[in-house]
Structure 1
Amino acid sequence: MDLELRHLRILLAISEAGSLTRAAAALFLSQPAMTTQLRRIEASFGQPLFERSARGVVPTRAGELVLAHARTAVASADRIRGYRLRPANSAEPVTVGGSSGPMLSHLTLHLPAAVSNPVTFVQFPSTGDAMNAVADRSVDAGCMVDLDGFGVPLPEGVVVDVIGLEPVVVIMPAGHPRAGQDRVGLADLADETWLLPPYDAGCDDYGALADACAPAGFAPRVSPHRIGDLGVLCDLIAQGVGVALAQGAARAREGVVMRRFTGDPLLGRHLLAVHRDSPLFGARPLLLDLVRAAFEARCVTPG
């Protein structure tokens, strides 16, 4: 793992809080995500950086050395960011949009304090709507999710970064015969009816599903209903209307379960799009730091 600035911030937060639980709350991470991040960081150093006990955590001797350098590096980065990443016209308002996913909520919490511009946020019903808004400068930046290999072509003037890939899951009724399995093969769902979201110019859901089902030997039977709201979708699935695809970061509702597919044949791409003419383009490294932190905290990677 390559050590990045956000990893140093995690170490400093743990040291200041003296507890993984309190540090996780301060950074808006879950306790398991914080623990996983610390393990990865310590593995990159090849030794523990904190000693754990019932009272909390304290730095090891190696940890003290790393923390001293981390404080200097983070302080320097903050000074550089304050000079380079704030747009030239600090009074100019900016707008950030996105489709459903963990990155938009994370930016809403953290971006206003990181830039001097007034920031407003808007959620779009689809990836295509969000990407079009970035392309025509209705918004200055956008975060969105599409399906790997079935997304929208890159619009002119827009820079898109892939934040990460996440396995797509299937939502099925809690009483489904396969609900007790950790993973479900697509071939086992050949007789199911699939509920797809409304048409999205930025993400071909049917094309991706059909492409994944072909090696399993069937073409998916698709419901005429097009449902985008996760709550409504889960209500219908709980009643046995069909099954559906979802982001791995989605949260299951009562009456349904979410299971990964065997072999992860469908992957969601989490994207950050910024227009080159946007006042936020100079702050792109900051935006990337924030959305990568959200991805690491909320999303599962393939494997």
Structure 2
Amino acid sequence: MDLELRHLKTIRAIADAGSLTRAATALGLAQPALSAQLKRIERALGGELFERGREGVRTTALGDLVLERARVVLPAVCELQEEAVRFARDGAEGYRLGGTHGPLLGGLVDRIARTDPGAPVTTYTSWSEREIAGGVVAGRLDFALVGVCGESGPPEAGRLAWTEVARDPVYVMLAADHPLAPRTEIDLAELAAEAWTDVPGDGCFGDCFAAACVRAGFTPACVYETDTASCVHLVQVGRAVGLCRATFPVTPGLVTRPLAGAPLVWRHLLGWHPEGRAAGRAAAVLHHTRAAHEEALARSAGRTTTPAPREGTPR
């Protein structure tokens, strides 16, 4: 039997788990099947890799040697695969854009279509900022358009180049007939008795919102985490008040208002792989994204925003 990458992954999984039972669970195998596979690997390598005991397994001297090499080879092969995917896919002259919920992705697509009508544009959306960033790292996407709460760092910060597009205060979304709707600004404490609704995400926004409520003297009684359309419906029928960005479009039946003191801030970020072929188009895409943000802000009820620095230096 020739040694394969999957065999090295099995060896690493057993060593990391410390027992065949736990390793079998992690690999999604039955323990007898994993034991049989390990015996075949050991025969191919000429000796035992693990000593079995009551408390689990530990590597032999041969096992240490193989495991040391496996922990060098496996990441190198993974990196090679990612680079190959990027090389094969980034050569296309089109734009592969990934983004989370919000109006900026649509605005960016529109601007690219207007200024570069011959270039194909594809999009991928997800509520997960990490998933979008991972798509750029893996070469499946050229650019990631995501947001983070306050001064939080972006996902994959060490592998992608990130630039701030703009930062907006977080607004509250109310039914048009809500008692506070006529106000131009609302203190967070005035909403202490309300149920809330917001879209999901894998950043720290939920924790930051909870902390802001505690500073305002209350704990949210209920938070409905759901898609944008459902959030809008819950607000329109008076079931909850919502959290939204200043770029949220004007929508019948509801109004958006800034929170006094801007206790929550949302930063729009654009990311790309610095070694990908699409990196040469980053400056143009950043320009289009900032213009799309300004256009979205102009169409919304929000007007308070802090423009990002215009030099476009990756963060």
Q: TM-score, normalised by structure 1?
A: 0.63
- In structure 2, the residue matched to 1:251 is 249
Residues 79-228 of structure 1: pairs in structure 2 closer than 5 A: 91=92, 93-112=94-113, 113-114=115-116, 118-150=120-152, 152-198=154-200, 200-201=201-202, 203-223=203-223, 225-228=224-227
Give the 3 Å change call, closer, same or farther, for CA 297–232 of structure 1 in structure 2: same
Matched, 1:287 2:289: no
**Cα distance, 1:117 vs structure 2:** 5.5
Distance 1:233 1:91 in 2: 38
In structure 1, give the amino acid aligned to 2:211. D
Distance 1:141 1:163 in 2: 13
**Cα distance, 1:248 vs structure 2:** 1.0
Residues 237-248 of structure 1: pairs in structure 2 closer than 5 A: 237-248=235-246
**Cα distance, 1:166 vs structure 2:** 0.8
| Contact 1:94-1:279 at 8 Å conserved across structures | no
Alignment equivalent of 1:234, drawn from 229, 232, 235 = 232
In structure 1, give the amino acid aligned to 2:159. G
In structure 2, give the amino acid aligned to 1:214. V
Distance 1:195 1:100 in 2: 15
Distance 1:111 1:138 in 2: 19
Distance 2:215 2:138 in 1: 39
* Larger-gyration structure (1/2): 2
Distance 1:139 1:153 in 2: 15
Distance 1:294 1:247 in 2: 14
Give the 3 Å change call, closer, same or farther, for CA 266–117 of structure 1 in structure 2: same
- In structure 2, the residue matched to 1:276 is 274
Give the 3 Å change call, closer, same or farther, for CA 185–273 of structure 1 in structure 2: same
- Deviation per residue, 1:194-227 (Å, 9 max, x gap): 12323x22x223112112223212222233x321
Distance 1:280 1:115 in 2: 17
| Partner SS for 2:277 | coil
| Partner SS for 1:221 | coil
- Deviation per residue, 1:157-196 (Å, 9 max, x gap): 2011011111111112222221110010001011111123
In structure 2, give the amino acid aligned to 1:108. V
**Cα distance, 1:151 vs structure 2:** 5.4
Give the 3 Å change call, closer, same or farther, for CA 150–257 of structure 1 in structure 2: same
| Contact 1:264-1:302 at 8 Å conserved across structures | no
Residues 65-84 of structure 1: pairs in structure 2 closer than 5 A: none
**Cα distance, 1:269 vs structure 2:** 0.6
**Cα distance, 1:261 vs structure 2:** 0.6
| Partner SS for 1:184 | coil
Q: TM-score, normalised by structure 2?
A: 0.60
CA-atom RMSD, angstroms?
2.4
- In structure 1, the residue matched to 2:40 is none
Q: Percent identity?
A: 28
